[in-house]
Amino acid sequence: MREFKNGICPKCGLKMESGYIYTTKQIKWTYNNKPKFTVIGDETLIDISGFAMKKLVSYRCTDCKVVIFEYD
């Protein structure tokens, strides 16, 4: 996987700060915004594994409220 290195905000073009993102549950991806009552069928981008919360390298712009992270 190629690594996201330059950390430039796609909205304002300024340098983003690096850190780590994690979840206490799951972060899911779907292609539509229809209300759902179950997560079945949606892709999990970030999950917890056992008791450990997985942390992923992330970049954020606090002015634009944009976060970019790579998932695997």
Q: Which CB sits closer to Zn ion, 7 or 28?
A: 7
Can residue 25 be called a binding residue for Zn ion (CB under 5 A)? no
CA torsion, points 26, 31, 33, 34, in degrees to nearest 10? -100
d(CA 59, CA 56): 10
Q: Which of 35, 64, 65, 69 binds Zn ion (CB under 5 A)?
A: 64
Q: How far apart are alpha carbons 8 and 12 in whole angstroms?
A: 8
Query: How far is it, in rounded angstroms, from Cα 12 to Cα 66?
Result: 10
CB of 27 to Zn ion, least distance (A): 21
Contact stretch for Zn ion (CB under 5 A) within 24-32, 37-45, 51-59, 60-68: 60-68
Residue from 46, 58, 60, 61 touching Zn ion (CB under 5 A): that is 61
